[in-house]
Structure 1
């Protein structure tokens, strides 16, 4: 709690940057070291360094999208809750209405541009090296069977529809999380609209009941999205209460102890392996513990542990002014500002650019061995990845440098134009307030 008058909210931008970076790292590991998803390479092997608890968290996946969902809830709640608590409920309702209008074009327009770019690369065969590589994840995550424009234009339109109706996007499958994030924003808007007239404690009670309800549901992704949206609203609401900030700031030592415990326990819990939990003692212990609080029949135990671990970790960050200040520094803020652009562009850069740095520019090493006498199945010989350490040492940093340069340019030019287009739509479709008609800026 950085201030007694108003909570520090800039740290969420830095955390968003960490989330996007972890998403990219996760996909690198999916492509070339999927063994990190397990606590060991096999039941009897000694664990790799990056398979150990705490060290494994960034590489094993899952947590990046969970972080994005929490941040969506937190950010969407900041302004309307601040306005409502200051007694300006009409302004809070106006904010909710305009935010609900802006959210779809601000997500859909840049995502569609990224989709069209990936589609264009597919038309010139830019994904062929990835498609012929020895990485199973790369092969299954790139578009195949590219035809002529007479089939590819309808396919593009169909994939746009699929991306926003819950199906897989063939050209850029990383966009799968955008629809749940969009739906989650509207969950938050409806929740705040329904509770904006409530007292603080009653709104908090309502959010906690909803959180528990979603947690007890066994449908896929409830812990990853709905629970995180609600936890973001809960922390934003509690953190904006001056009495709570005064209470916490008056107990510095207890706050520091709580921060350390929450982050350490949360980090450990979030390390629960995505596969083969039975191969390590520590993950068996977590599984036995999880049986007490994870509903029977839950779609994904690993995602439940990730959600719980992140909720503990972010609560620790939320309690710590030092950590909030760290995430509010210029480096984290810059990475955070470019996080959405990184999310949208990294898949294409990885599968087109980095794949060529690792596998070379030619698909000739790929060939199909036909069985003798026509008996048996043909054997595909994929392009082997480079075995030279210096190729990887050069390729990975180059990939990140290029990716963040592209993301910065995207944020500066593409995303800013999408923001202008959204503002034009808003001005065209909304009635102006009296202050706007008189040319007076509305108070935030």
Structure 2
């Protein structure tokens, strides 16, 4: 913890970098080793090492998007809560207004540039190998041309609209989470606006009540987004209380015991498999608890991941050691480039990595017509050489983070400047605001 009255928040950026890494890792798993989402390959097999509890969690990836949601809530609340607690209500309201203005262009502009690049690659048939490879997930998630150039130009506008209406653009399906994240930011701003004049404890109680309401809501993905947004606000609010931090840090043994227990239990329950739950005793035991913890008609896999992240992040939040670790230069660098990694990894996986794994030719693909039956597709087989996989994925990760760094340095910074320009033209200057207030016009 920092020694002044402000809580250490640098670790949040490092955790963001871990979240983006986990998202990429789970997409690699979906593409080439889907049984890692199960407790074992089949009912009679023994579990592989990476299918065991704890070790399996990074590859399942559900927790990665939840981490982004939590961090959105935490980061969006830091400055306005600091201003509210210092009595600067005018500053807090100004921060909320300008943050609400900045959020859409800061998400939409870079995402649209990524969508345009994916559209161009589609027109150039850059996903040709992905279309005929032996990975069903890659084949289904790689975009295809559906008509001539005129049709594809119109389709681009349709898909852009879908990005921010339904959240599922065909040219880059990985952008599906951006719309819920945008909506979630406004949930946070509205919550802070509605509670900014409350007493601190009453504001915490209100946010906790909202969190409980969303947890009891059986609408899809409320545990992935709304609960995480509000939990981020709640932890930020509690953590900004100096007396509370001093009280926690004055009991180091108890604090370490609690954080160790929470992180360990969180890693265990977060291992809940995505399918074939009955194949392992440990997953069956967790499954029996579902009716007692979750509303009906909800996805238990996502609910267990949500419980896991709640516990894990409290462990991080209580641990100065872990916060210091996530605040180092490597994790901070990963965090700064996390959004760029999220936007670019799908395109690079379907255009570059598939060629490392399958080669540059789709000649091995063929369709065998069978009279009176469905045709048999002979997909391009993946390499069976483990060394090829090791070198390919290692080089691809280097390429991914190089591209992400360049994206953050040039594309994202340009989007930030464009947003700043829009803000300067659409908002009254702060000096004017002060003069108006002094003249009694506000």
TM-score normalised to the size of structure 1? 0.96
Query: 1:74·1:229 contact (CA, 8 Å) conserved in 2?
Result: yes
Corresponding residue SS for 1:292: helix
Aligned equivalent of 1:205: 205
Match status 1:253 vs 2:235: no
Report the equivalent of 1:386.
383
For 2:433 and 2:93, the matched residues in 1 are separated by: 17
Alpha-carbon shift at residue 198 of structure 1 (Å): 0.5
Report the aligned-residue RMSD: 1.2
- 1:128 deviation in Å? 1.1
1:102 and 1:426 in contact (8 A); partners too: yes
Distance 1:44 1:2, change over 3 A: farther
1:310-325 matched pairs, under 5 angstroms:
310-325=309-324
Asked whether the 8 Å contact 2:133–2:139 carries over to 1, the reply is yes
Structure 1 residue 436, shift from structure 2 partner? 8.3
Residue pair 1:123, 1:146 contacting (<8 A) in 2 also: no
Is the CA contact (8 Å cut-off) linking 1:39 and 1:280 kept in structure 2? yes
User: Which residue matches 2:282?
Assistant: 282
Q: CA offsets per residue over residues 298-333 of structure 1, 9 Å max, x none?
A: 2x1000000010010000000111000000000000
Does the 8 A contact of 2:145 with 2:152 survive in 1? no
* Structure-1 residue corresponding to 2:268: 268
Is 1:422 paired with 2:419? yes
Partner of 2:332: 333
Per-residue deviation, 1:146: 4.0
| 2:29 pairs with 1:32 | no
Show the counterpart of 2:438: none
Instruction: Give, in angstroms, the shift of residue 246 of structure 1.
Output: 1.2
Cα 1:421/1:406, change in 2 over 3 Å: same
Which of residues 395, 398, 402 in structure 1 aligns to 2:399? 402
Work out the CA distance in 2 between the residues paired with 1:7 and 1:13: 14
2:410 alignment partner in structure 1? 413
State how 1:2-21 maps to structure 2 within 5 Å: 2-21=2-21
User: Aligned partners of 1:269 and 1:387: how far apart in 2?
Assistant: 33
Aligned equivalent of 2:352: 353
CA distances 1:397-434 after superposition (whole Å, capped 9, x unpaired) = 01100000000000000000000000000000001122
Provide structure 2 residue ranges, at least 5 long, that are not aligned to the other structure: 436-442
Q: Does 1:86 align with 2:82?
A: no
Shift of 1:291: 2.4
Hey, what's the Cα distance between the residues in 2 that align with 1:155 and 1:174? 18
Distance 1:430 1:245 in 2: 37
After TM superposition, the structure 1 = structure 2 runs for residues 36-435 of structure 1, keeping only pairs within 5 Å, are: 36-298=36-298, 300-371=299-370, 374-434=371-431
The whole-number CA distance in structure 1 between the counterparts of 2:249 and 2:393 is 43
Q: How big is the shift at 1:77?
A: 0.2
Q: TM-score with structure 2 length normalisation?
A: 0.97
Distance 1:293 1:334 in 2: 38
Provide the C-alpha distance between the structure 1 equivalents of 2:3 and 2:318, rounded to a whole number of angstroms. 12
Alignment correspondent of 2:22:
22
Secondary structure, aligned partner of 2:55: coil
